[in-house]
Amino acid sequence: MNRRAMFLEVLGIPAEWVPRKAPVTAVAEAPLAETIVMAEASEVVKVAAMAEAAESVKSVDSTEVATPPMTADNFDTPDAGDAAEIAETVEAFDTPARAAAPAVPILRQSNPEQDGRDAAIAAMDWPTLAASVAGCTDCGLCATRTNTVFGVGDQRAEWMLVGEAPGENEDLQGEPFVGQAGKLLDNMLAALGLARDRNVYIANVLKCRPPGNRNPEPDEVAQCEPYLKRQIALIKPKVIVVLGRFAAQSLLRSTTPIGKLRGTVHTYEGIPVVVTYHPAYLLRTLTDKARAWEDLCLAREVLNRAGAQA
Ligand code: URA
């Protein structure tokens, strides 16, 4: 018996989980500040279409979707040899203090300068967007960053993953999720036949590292969100998987705890969003890996359904 199996046995968790149908309970549209101010008829149509799509997801026969068996080994946690680095990652992204502070939804007042900036970003192509992020000095994080972390992956991917913000390794290397949490994320993706260099795009809400990995500030999120929004608009993914409480609450403009955001198909700019745990949290809480797998299966169902309707 390997160490993982022994560990799970000690915790009383069987090595094999019985596949369960991922719950789809509701559809919620992220109320963007501007959407609240100027709700367009097209938005309403999008929400209605999403509700319909979610209804169909609900009725997907489990035999229609080839769901791999839900096993503890669907994605491996990095080896214990990296324990110190794992502890650091967990410490950085998963402290009780961070967990206690909800991501504050940004309801920014409209002002001409900000609106002009947002509109300019919303019209950028990939090279202009990347250059704009690389040279951005619109919040204080530019003073402490080593590199901006734009995003990585296939710019035409059907899957997009959104994390919170770069950590130390990401800041040094300029790529999202390259530390221990990133290794776990890669394993999660591999379990779905996905890889960052092939068929998925990974980005963060923030493109610069908050010093000491503190929680992002609302104004930092407000300045950075237009970049993410443009990335999403250019990629047009079929599903967005949001990693962790902070990214989920920021993107969905919500203070709802992550446990309640999971299991529901939300939308961001008309694109289905599935929320799951942050890989750094999963490094510590192995018992929630099965829930994370359920979330990924839900995302895959949403995507399969979208493909079937296309
Ligand atoms: N955590 C995140 O949310 N994003 C990264 O890129 C790395 C760690």
Distance between Cα 70 and ligand 1 center (Å): 25
Domain boundaries, the chain: 3-55, 80-309
Helix/strand/coil percentages in the chain, nearest 5 = 50, 10, 40
Cα of 122 from ligand 1 centre, angstroms: 24
Q: What crossing angle do the helices spanning 180-190 and 289-309 adopt, rounded to 10°?
A: 50
What pLDDT sits at residue 49?
37
Q: What percent of the chain has pLDDT over 70?
A: 65
Round to whole Å and give the CA distance between 177 and 282.
Answer: 14
Confidence band (pLDDT; 50, 70, 90) for 308?
A: confident
Question: What's the confidence (pLDDT) of residue 113?
Answer: 87
Determine the Cα–Cα distance for residues 261 and 50; give it in Å rounded to an integer: 17
Q: Read off the tokens for 82.
A: 């990296």
Q: How does pLDDT run across 187-222, given as a tens digit for each residue?
A: 999 999 999 999 999 999 999 999 998 999 999 999
Which pLDDT score is estimated for 99?
A: 59
- Ligand 1 centroid to Cα of residue 308, in Å, is 32
Average pLDDT across the chain, whole number: 78
What residues line ligand 1, using a CB cutoff of 6 Å? Answer: 93, 163-167, 170, 176-177, 181, 204
Does the structure show a pLDDT above 60 at 85? no
Q: Comparing 29-33, 103-107, 166-170, 293-297, which segment has the lowest mean pLDDT?
A: 29-33
CA distance 78 to 269: 34
CATH number for 80-309 (one of 3.30.230.10, 3.40.470.10, 3.30.479.30, 3.40.50.12280): it is 3.40.470.10
Average pLDDT over residues 175-198: 95
For every residue of 101-156, DSSP letters joined together read: SPPPP--PPP-HHHHHHHHHHHT--HHHHHHHHHT--SSGGGGT-SS----EE-TT
pLDDT at residue 260 in the model: 96
Q: Distance from the CA of 114 to the center of ligand 1, in angstroms?
A: 27
The closest residue, in CA terms, to atom 7 on ligand 1 is 177
Counting from 1 in the atom list of ligand 1, the atom nearest the Cα of 163 is 3
Evaluate if residue 122 carries a pLDDT over 90.
yes
**Calpha distance 102→275 (Å, rounded):** 16
The pLDDT of residue 50: 39
Q: What is the pLDDT of residue 309?
A: 75
pLDDT for residue 76: 67
Instruction: Judge whether 151 and 240 are in contact, CB under 8 Å.
Output: no
For the entire predicted model, the pTM comes to 0.75
Strand ranges in the chain using DSSP code E only, listed in sequence order: 27-29, 152-153, 159-163, 200-204, 239-243, 265-268, 271-276
* Half-sphere CA count of 32, side-chain side, radius 13 A: 15
State how far the Cα of 40 lies from the Cα of 227, in Å rounded to an integer: 22
What average pLDDT does this structure show over 267-283? 97
Q: How far apart are CA 209 and CA 49, in angstroms?
A: 37
Average pLDDT value for residue range 13-22: 38
pLDDT at 107: 59
Does 63 score more than 90 pLDDT?
Answer: no
Mutate to test the pocket of ligand 1, among 91, 93, 171 (most ligand atoms within 8 A of CB): 93
Does residue 75 register a pLDDT over 70?
Answer: no
Say yes or no to pLDDT of 35 above 90: no
Per-residue pLDDT, averaged over 18-27, amounts to 40
Mean pLDDT on 66-74:
51
- pLDDT (0 to 100) of residue 16: 36
pLDDT of res. 48? 36
Look at residue 300 in the predicted model and tell me its pLDDT.
Answer: 97
128-146 confidence digits (pLDDT tens): 999 999 999 999 999 999 9
pLDDT of residue 62: 32
pLDDT in tens, 236-248: 999 999 999 999 9
What pLDDT was estimated at residue 145? Answer: 98
